[in-house]
Amino acid sequence: MRERFLAYCTILAALFGFWYAIGRPERLPEPGLAPGQRLQSVSYAPFDKHQNPLKSGPDGPDISADRIDRDLAILAQRFEAIRTYSTLGMESLPALAEKHGLKIMLGAWVNSDPVATRKELNKLIEIARSRPSSIRAVVVGNESLLRREVTGAQLAAYIREVKSALPDMPVTYADVWEFWLKHPEVAPAVDFVTIHILPYWEDDPVAVDDAMAHIRKIREEIAAKIPGREIFIGETGWPSQGRMRVGALPSPVNQARFMRGVVAMAEREHWAYNLIEAFDQPWKRISEGAVGGYWGIYDADRKDKAVLSGPVSNHPRWLVLFWLSAAIVLLTVPLSGGRASLDGFRWCEFSALAAAGAVGIVLQGRQFALISHGIWPILWAALVMTQAAFAYFLLLTTAAGHSLPGAFGLAATMDLLRPPRPKLWRLSALISLHRLAVLALALVAVAGLVIAPRYRSFNNFGFILPALAYAWLSRRNEHRAGPSAGLERLVALVLAAGAVGILIRETPLNRQADIWVGTCLLLTYPLWRQGRGAALRPMLACGLGLVAAYGILMALRYVLLDWKRLAVPCMDDPSGLYCRIRDALGFLMYHQAFGWLSLVLAALAVWRAKTGPCFLALTASLCGFVFYNAGVAAVAFVAAGLTLAKTKLDADGPRCPTEKCRDNESL
């Protein structure tokens, strides 16, 4: 009893020290502005944290003048001007900006819909004429060329139209810096060039330590290649949360380092600049992943994030995180009792696992709290957290000296899900089903990270625990090769191949990816041990067929979406057959039709457990991968793929129809 009390006191003390160390605020250099000096400009979107402009009506989101008034009162304390992106709902903005002593860079949203674009341009001209003293400049379009929604010639015509209507007002267009070079016809139409330099989002992401040099290099390059035009940095910033890209890590400390550094450099060099952005925008997580919601200098509740001044912490609520992890550790007290054999080494082992596992669960829960939006991400979070918690208690049960049964082989576990379902309440069955769930979730995550990784986060802490648990259990239990271990070998090969693909795509500089790759390889360890010697020849024809189908679909996507010679004419005349096909395809992609179709077909394939329906579902899920519905399609791909593999391998080898046979197939 005394040993247990001392062990738990030590665990709680270690937890407190850990959270205090990583939560302690860090002091960073400040820009060194003159007393009372305000910064030049900041991007502003007037949405509440629960608003989503993507789901608003044709007249735009319901924007409250009172909300704008309160926001501008905050921003006026720190900035001279604001930049907006759309005119819808902004009628009250000029008067309120003048009230608070702010200038406006008024933006109009230009897209592929000529009716919507015309409405934006007319409103832009109307607002600018109504109170010209509050307008510093107007911005005709934002990243419209990057989105390939208009041609350079169309955009230049829009700009000249606005300049004609507002002859005394500076007019510009804003886009990522390289699109000014790709469309040289736009620069002569504007009064000054507005470029976006976002080191995190570059095709070759730039780490925060190299970001200042990168911004200087790009600005000098644009000034040299577009002479005679003032260069305005229309967007530059750094996210405080989200997935790492190569060496570019989002964090509150890195955001503060970047923003303070860029302000100091811009003020020193007398550059015109605009920071992105004023307030965190949670709705952007839908289209940009978790990182999209965390570019703000203030959070979504309008609280200062200490980006521009003061100490900053990556875990400002570390004390709450400590109490959560302490509560998890205290739930493990019953596991450590009832065994007199817990000697000093076992207590150290148990304590280390209890502390590290609690920290991992809390960190994973914190990540999901930051990144999850909508019913499906929340469901995914619940599944990952549940299996992580189960693995945590499996690990601690084993560390405390309690014996656990081995898991059934994957094929035998899948049989448990089909009628009749004997004794699912048995611990061996629960462990087996948990192991199958862990591997299925890991395969879904790997598929998403290989096919469409840009906006997908690494859920490392949710998978490290089960990877450790089953690697540990496989070492502690005597290995007995089952009669149908081919599925284990196949899953191991797919996980290992996916890990290599992720490592190549992300590069070893991405620490988050490195951890994920290591976790995948750890998951493959017990699978490979059990599947040694199993033949996968029955899967060869299916694999080659899927590769061929994927190649054909990729070629089709290139012809329908990416072939510039065919796509560009649709911007001028969208009435042709090819353009209508493109529009229909875009509609299906936007509504996730390919993903949902693949999921329905996968459900049918799992129910029928026949080769034909499985292959059809897999082909449909490949359509989802190719046509940007990867999230739902990954679930369908894994479900149909496991069913197909089991069906093909069953036909080639003996099965386990009885519970006794399944017991012999356990690890």
Q: Are 142 and 85 in contact (CB under 8 A)?
A: yes
Q: What is the pLDDT of residue 346?
A: 78
Listed in sequence order, the residues at least 6 apart from 278 whose beta carbon sits closer than 8 Å to its beta carbon are: 42, 43, 44, 45, 71, 75, 82, 296, 297, 298
Residue 266 half-sphere exposure toward CB, CA atoms < 13 A: 25
3-class DSSP state for residue 282? helix
Phi, psi of 48 (to 5 degrees): -70, 165
Q: Report the C-alpha dihedral over residues 636, 642, 644, 645, rounded to 10 degrees.
A: 150
CA–CA dist 131, 326 (Å, integer): 58
pTM summary value: 0.91
Give me the amino acid identity at 500.
V
3-class DSSP state for residue 81? strand
Task: Give the residue from 345, 335, 283, 312 showing the smallest Cα distance to 56.
Answer: 283
Burial environment of residue 219 by CB neighbours within 10 A (0 to 12, 13 to 18, 19 or more): buried
- CATH, range 31-293: 3.20.20.80
Alpha helices in 24-92 (DSSP H): 65-75
Kindly state the DSSP code that residue 559 receives in the 8-state scheme: I
CA–CA dist 88, 54 (Å, integer): 13
Q: What is the pLDDT of residue 666?
A: 43
Task: Give the residue from 87, 77, 73 showing the smallest Cα distance to 117.
Answer: 87
Q: Are strands 39-43 and 79-83 parallel, antiparallel or unpaired?
A: parallel
Q: Residue ranges of the chain with pLDDT lower than 70?
A: 1, 56-61, 338-343, 420-425, 476-484, 651-667
Alpha helices in 198-250 (DSSP H): 211-225
CA–CA dist 442, 440 (Å, integer): 5
Query: What is the chain's alpha carbon radius of gyration, rounded to the nearest angstrom?
Result: 28
Q: What is the pLDDT of residue 58?
A: 62
Q: Are strands 192-196 and 135-142 parallel, antiparallel or unpaired?
A: unpaired
Element (H, E) at 518: helix 511-531
Listed in sequence order, the residues at least 6 apart from 52 whose beta carbon sits closer than 8 Å to its beta carbon are: 61, 283, 286
Give me the amino acid identity at 471.
A
Q: Are 503 and 552 in contact (CB under 8 A)?
A: no
SS (HEC) of 470-483: HHHHHHHCCCCCCC
Furthest C-alpha separation in the chain: 88
Cα–Cα distance list, 328 to 11, 12, 348, 354, 399 (Å): 11, 11, 18, 9, 16
Q: What is the pLDDT of residue 60?
A: 60
Task: Give the residue from 370, 322, 369, 318 showing the smallest Cα distance to 25.
Answer: 318
3-class DSSP state for residue 442? helix
Q: Are 43 and 235 in contact (CB under 8 A)?
A: yes
Alpha helices in 238-297 (DSSP H): 252-269, 285-288
Q: Are 295 and 305 in contact (CB under 8 A)?
A: no
192 forms beta bridges with 230
Listed in sequence order, the residues at least 6 apart from 134 whose beta carbon sits closer than 8 Å to its beta carbon are: 94, 95, 97, 98, 102, 103, 104
CA–CA dist 403, 133 (Å, integer): 78
CA–CA dist 254, 380 (Å, integer): 28
Task: Give the residue from 654, 630, 650, 665 showing the smallest Cα distance to 539.
Answer: 650
CA–CA dist 231, 236 (Å, integer): 13
Q: Are strands 171-176 and 192-196 parallel, antiparallel or unpaired?
A: parallel
Q: What is the pLDDT of residue 407?
A: 81
Task: Give the residue from 75, 142, 74 showing the smallest Cα distance to 106.
Answer: 142
**Sign of the C-alpha dihedral, residues 511, 517, 520, 525?**
negative
Residue 234 half-sphere exposure toward CB, CA atoms < 13 A: 28
In Å, how far from its chain's centre is CA 24? Answer: 27
| Domain definitions of the chain by residue range | 31-293, 320-537, 540-652
